[in-house]
Amino acid sequence: MTVARLDIVRNRIEGPPDLAIEVLSPSSRRTDEVLKRRAYERWGTRELWVVDPDVERVRVYRIESAGHFGRARELSAEHGETLETPLLPGFSITLVDLFTDPLLDARR
């Protein structure tokens, strides 16, 4: 959180997050992909990641000048893409690493 956003912190967080991450599951797919996305947009969340572990993809929505999310940028592990955001300078993770289960790899 940037210093400029410290005003939302009191006894609890009182305001929209800069970044929200939703992980899809079969039971919540519609809620996460449609309803929550609209709510985050309405609240002014600057960026939303919708993570789909079933197909190893991440959809990145960023708020545009009109105050609405632009077209999603879809990243996939299959294409060896990397997830980065200007909200977390220096943060970078390949989707292959994101979707790798270290417990399964340790057993091999």
| Average confidence (pLDDT) over 37-51 | 94
Task: Please check whether residue 8 lies inside any domain of the structure.
Answer: no
Number of compact structural domains in the chain: 1
Position 9 in a domain = no
CATH number at residue 79: 3.90.1570.10
pLDDT of residue 10: 66
- The reported pTM is 0.82
In a domain, 6, yes or no: no
Contact residues for 85 (Cβ-Cβ < 8 A; gap 6+): 19, 47, 60, 91
Q: What is the pLDDT of residue 108?
A: 47
Decide if 50 is inside a domain.
yes
What does the mean pLDDT of the chain come to? 87
Give a yes or no: residue 95 inside a domain: yes
Q: Which of the residue ranges 19-28, 46-55, 76-85, 95-104 would you say has the lowest mean pLDDT? A: 95-104
Q: Is residue 76 part of a domain?
A: yes
* Residue 38 to residues 12, 44, 106, Cα–Cα distance (Å): 23, 10, 39
Residues above pLDDT 70, as percent of the chain:
83
Band of pLDDT at residue 8, cut at 50, 70 and 90: low
Q: 3-state class of 78 per DSSP?
A: coil
- Tokens 């077209």 sit at which residue? 71
In-domain check, residue 46 = yes
Average pLDDT (5-30) is: 80
pLDDT of 12 higher than 60? yes
- DSSP code per residue over 16-27: --SEEEEE--TT
Position 32 in a domain: yes
* Structural domain that includes position 55: 15-107
